[in-house]
A = this chain, B = another copy of it.
Amino acid sequence: MAYDLWYWPGIQGRGEFVRLALEAGGIAYRDRARELGDEEGAAALLADMSSRQGAGRQGRMPFAPPYLASDGLAIAQVANILMFLGERHDLAPSGMADRLWLNQVQLTIADLVSEVHDVHHPVGTGAYYEDQMAEAARAATPFRDERLPKFLDYFTQVIACNDGDWTIDHRWTYVDTSLFQLVQGLRYMFPRRMATLEPDYPDLVRLHDQVARLPGIKAYLASGRRQPFNQDGIFRHYPELDGD
Q: By DSSP majority rule, is chain A's interface helix, strand, loop, or mixed? A: helix
Question: What are the interface flags for A123-140 relative to B under an 8 Å C-beta threshold, 1 for contact and 0 otherwise?
Answer: 111110000100100110
User: Which of chain B's residues has its CB closest to A53's CB?
Assistant: B157
Name A77's closest neighbour in chain B (CB-CB). B107
By a CB distance below 8 angstroms, the chain B residues around A124 are 138-139, 142
- A103 in complex: contacting residue of B62, B77, B142, CB < 8 Å: B77
Q: How many copies, total? A: 2
Return A121 CB to nearest CB of chain B, in Å: 10
A148 to chain B, nearest CB (A): 12
The answer on a CB contact under 8 Å between A80 and B57 is no
**B108 x A157 contact (CB < 8 A):** no
List of B residues within 8 angstroms of A108 by Cβ: 63, 76-77
Within residues 110 to 152 of chain A, which ones have a CB less than 8 A from any CB in chain B? 111, 114, 118, 122-127, 132, 135, 138-139, 142, 146-147, 151
